[in-house]
Amino acid sequence: MALVRVISSDGAAFLVSQRLAKRSGKLKTEIETFRKSSDNSEAQPEIRIVTIRAEILRLVLQWLQQHQNDPVLPANQNEQDGRGDAEMGQSQWDRDFLAPMDLGIVMELILAANHLEVKGLLDITCKLVESKITGRTVDEIRTAFKLKSDFKGNEEEQTRLENRWCVEN
């Protein structure tokens, strides 16, 4: 089985089958680039991902492993109307996978999925964050996302007045 070594920003190395790795658009490109530039067709590619730490990279690979038989979605599929996301749905496995994660990990996972071009993972993580916002109050959102109000003076009140029309309708 052809393997590829994927190295995280903090130096952790993961040996992954190339078939699995190619389900990431980014890794697929890197492997193909390596093949073109390498004289030895048997050589094992090594890919450094300088923006993703081991804990997160492990999660991405774990997700890919679970979804290795899913159809690969184009990165821009239904980007505008969002039907791709809606139709995809989440499996029970996905829900169990995401359940123990705190928002910090989820946000890192989003960035990693985006960087590695893993659309399915990007979709479910984005939807999870979206669900943490929908229906929440301002304070709840601030708490969940560790946001500090940076409104000064009556700016917040002014914004509330602007919103009034929408809220009342």
Partner 1 sequence: MSWSNMASSNENESMMEVDDSSKVVSFLTAAMPPEILSKILHHLDRNSRVTLRLTSHFLKKFVDEYLGVYVVINDQTQSQDTLSFFSRVAIRKAVVERASVVPFSSLFKYPQYLDSIFIDGEVHTNFLEGLLTSCPQLRILILLGEIRGVLPQRITDNSQSFRQTLMYLKSIDIRISFSTFASNVPYEDEQQSCFNMMNFLSTFHAPLLETCCLDSWITKPYDRYKVTGVLLSFLEIHTKLKGVLVYFRMATKDFSDNVNVISYPLSDYEKQLCSRLKNLSKQLQLSTCILSSVPFSNLWEFFLKDQTRLHTLSFCDKSCSWGPCEVPLRNNWESMKVVYILLEFRFPVDFAVFSECRSLRDLILINTASREILPGIPIDLLSFDKVLSCQKLQFCAMSNIILERRDLWKLIKLADLKYLALLSSGYGFETGVNIDLLKALLGSRQLEALLIDGTVAADEAEAEKIYEMMQLTRHVDVDGTNPTETDIRAGLVVNIRPSYTSFHQWTPNPQGDGFLFNMEFDHNNP
Considering the complex, state which of residue 29 and residue 65 has its C-beta at the smaller distance from partner 1.
65
Binding residues among 91-120 for partner 1 as defined by CB under 8 A = 103-104, 107-108, 110-111, 114
34 binds partner 1 (CB under 8 A): no
Nearest to 98 by CA among 131, 75, 73, 68: 131
Token pair for residue 81?
């109307």
CA dihedral 126, 128, 129, 130 (to 10 degrees): 80
How many residues make contact with partner 1 (CB under 8 A)? 66
**The length of the chain, given as a count of residues:** 169
Report which secondary-structure segment, H or E, holds 48.
strand 46-48
Residues in contact with partner 1 by the rule CB under 8 A = 1, 6, 8-17, 20, 51, 53-55, 58, 61, 65, 79-83, 85-87, 103-104, 107-108, 110-111, 114, 122, 126-127, 129-130, 133-138, 141-142, 145-151, 155-156, 159-160, 162-167, 169
